[in-house]
A and B are shown apart, each in its own frame.
Chain A
Amino acid sequence: MNGALRLKRALVLSPPLLWTFLFMFVPYAILLVYSFWQQKYPTFVPAFQFGNYVQIFTDPQYFRVILRTLKIAFFVSLGAALVAYPYAYFLVFRVRKPGLRLMLYMAVVAPLWVSYLLRAYTWKTILGTTGILNSFLMSTGILSEPSSVFLYNQTAMIVTLIYVFIPFMVMPIYAVLEKIPHSLKEASADLGVGRVRTFLSVTLPLSIPGIVAGFTMTFCLTFGDFIAPFLVGGPDGQMIANVIASQFGASLNWPLGAALALVMLMIVLSIITVSDKFERLGQGRFA
């Protein structure tokens, strides 16, 4: 390789390499270092000890939040998949006009461009104790007094998060369904296989990679969310990101916050790794 070419490559390479090193690699490394530090009132001091991690896995307060966050992320992903799959299926296999299909696809993806905060906020105005749903039910006589069952619980949070993240579920499922050749379904029908069985033994297995991709994305996004819990979650709706945020705010325990963030990072990374393996496996089988 001649010198000029090498110089050119260095010029293309160096800005992104420097940037990712300085603003991604170094911060993650410092985060790791901080997770071994120790809280010492009123702030914290350098140390090398595993106290923060021990605290996370022995203090039920933190452990319970992690479990709750996993549970909520699971139900959000499941709910989103149950809504997104029929929608994507309808678009690919039932809508004949390409124009209408594009419009319906955009209809579900477009909200991604609309402020996430506002989309969560509007659910708060709808579900609140004095909110629109309650006053609507009262004015129609279904309820005689406002009910607090709608807001500040985990169901409200799950509904809000499904609403916010559903585009991430529709996109990959749509992408895999679109690639399934219609001839496969026709062949199955020609062989006298019923539609339900064709779906279960042809369409559904072929769409698993898309479901896995959507599930992973929705799960990870929900897992790190701290806005929906704040807006509609209430006291039993705190998620791990809220606990992390409070360590960097009111509690002023950055080392514990850093350790919690690393636990979160590890969980997210292992989910991505497993899902990657799974998708590759799927591709190998169907290619």
Chain B
Amino acid sequence: MSRSLSERLAWVVGITLILAFLYLPIAVLVAYSFNASRSLTWPMTGFTLEWYQKLAANEALIDAFYNSLYVAISATTLTLIIGVPAALALDRIDFPGKGLFRKLILLPIALPGIITGISMLILFRSLGIRLSLEAVIVGHATALLAVVVTQVYARLQRLPNSLQEASEDLGASGLQTFFLITLPNIKTAVIGSGMLAFTLSFDEIPVTFFLTGRDNTLPMFIWSTMRRGLTPEINAIGSLIVLMSIVLIFVSVRLQRNTKTQQK
């Protein structure tokens, strides 16, 4: 009895330590965004909203935020437009070179972003295309394709082929079948992977670093601020981003739960 009690205690202590390792740094990030002193040291000196007010007045930051929004929305749309047909192709169509296609399209999952970044930098330079936010969008869409393809493909595989065949037997056209049968069934996978792609694009550095022109995205702006030194303003931006992430996480958990009840 006492052995199992002490064992349980050891587990609880160990798991608590791991959770502390995961969440203390985020707590520190948020706590210091409200700290009165400019230096990030212990002890904390008092409560202030000064850093958040400074953010609201920082035009370069606000521009960077809108740039990131523009990039993330465009890249996500593009990657869905390319990625959903790609997943359909992998699931349903046999064509020569399918193996190579699958390897290429899934490669960026494990491939360091820097390789996508520099290889596209060289491509754009060879084609004489100027670096810009649009170049970043193409880069992100390419790097994030794998995220969409894997998730949508996984869902398609669980979808019985008979659904599509029934629809076609009843005389529906290919487009009708896709929009009325296939798409509603893979909807949550499409939305979920789109949200993940959006988050990853919003936060992306390695590809953006090489492809952006004069305009900064938000992470690049934070990055260049960090080069100049640590300030509580970064903590304030960080806390807002954490807040945004929490909202997205809740939405995505909701989505998953809906999918599960649907399948029952």
Interface residues of A (CB under 8 A from B): 8-9, 12-13, 15-17, 19-20, 23-28, 30-31, 34, 83, 86-87, 90, 94, 104, 106-108, 110-111, 113-119, 121-126, 128, 130-132, 134-136, 139, 163, 166, 216-217, 220-221, 223-227, 231, 241, 244-245, 248, 254, 257-258, 261, 264-265, 268, 272
Contacts A132-B41, A132-B42, A135-B41; A216 near B120 (Cβ below 8 A) = no
Q: Which residues of B contact A16 (CB under 8 A)?
A: 82-83, 85-86, 89, 101, 105
The chain A residue with its CB closest to the CB of B139 is: A23
Across the interface, do A15 and B81 meet the contact criterion of CB distance under 8 Å?
A: yes
> A107 and B19: CB pair below 8 A?
yes
User: A13 and B39 in contact (CB under 8 A), knowing A8-B174, A23-B120, A115-B245?
Assistant: no
Q: How far is the CB of B173 from chain A (nearest CB, A)?
A: 9
Residues of chain B contacted by A244 (CB below 8 angstroms) = 114, 118
Known: A27-B120, A114-B26. A9 touches B93 (CB 8 A): yes
How far, in angstroms, from A232 to B105 measured CA to CA in the complex? 33
Chain A nearest CB: distance from B207 CB in Å?
11
Query: Are A30 and B242 closer than 8 Å at their CB atoms?
Result: no
Beyond known contacts A12-B89, A34-B122, A132-B28: 20 more, CB 8 A cutoff: A12-B93, A16-B101, A20-B104, A23-B120, A24-B105, A27-B120, A30-B119, A111-B22, A114-B26, A117-B203, A121-B226, A121-B230, A125-B29, A223-B112, A224-B111, A224-B113, A226-B114, A261-B115, A265-B111, A268-B112
Q: In the complex, which residues of chain B have a beta carbon less than 8 angstroms from the beta carbon of A227?
A: 205-206
Report 20 cross-chain contacts, Cβ distance below 8 Å, ordered by A residue.
A19-B145, A20-B86, A20-B101, A20-B145, A27-B120, A27-B122, A86-B18, A90-B15, A114-B26, A115-B219, A121-B29, A121-B234, A122-B26, A130-B40, A132-B41, A134-B41, A224-B111, A224-B113, A258-B118, A265-B111
Contact partners of B23 in chain A: CB under 8 A: 107
Is B242 within 8 A of A125, CB to CB? no
- How many positions in chain B have a CB within 8 Å of any CB in the partner chain? 72
Which of A20, A104, A107, A248 counts the most chain B CB atoms within 10 A? A20
Tell me the interface secondary structure of chain B in the complex. Answer: helix
The residues of B that contact A134 with a CB separation of less than 8 Å are 41
- A224→B114 contact, CB < 8 A: yes
Chain A proximity mask over B61-86: 1 for CB below 8 Å, otherwise 0: 00000000000000000000111011
Q: Which residues of A contact B122 (CB under 8 A)?
A: 27, 30-31, 34, 254, 258
Q: Please classify the interface of chain A as helix (H, G, I), strand (E, B), loop, or mixed, using the class held by over half of its residues.
A: helix
**Nearest residue in B to A272 (C-beta to C-beta)?**
B110
B47 within 8 A of A: no
Kindly state the separation between the CA atoms of A208 and B264 in the bound complex, as whole angstroms: 32
Contacts of B116 in A (CB 8 A): 27
Which residues of the other chain, A, contact B210 by a CB distance below 8 angstroms? 248
- 4 smallest CB-CB distances across A and B, nearest first, come from A224-B112, A16-B86, A27-B119, A135-B41
Chain B nearest CB from A62 CB (Å) reads 16
With A227-B205, A231-B226: A114-B21 Cβ-Cβ less than 8 Å: no
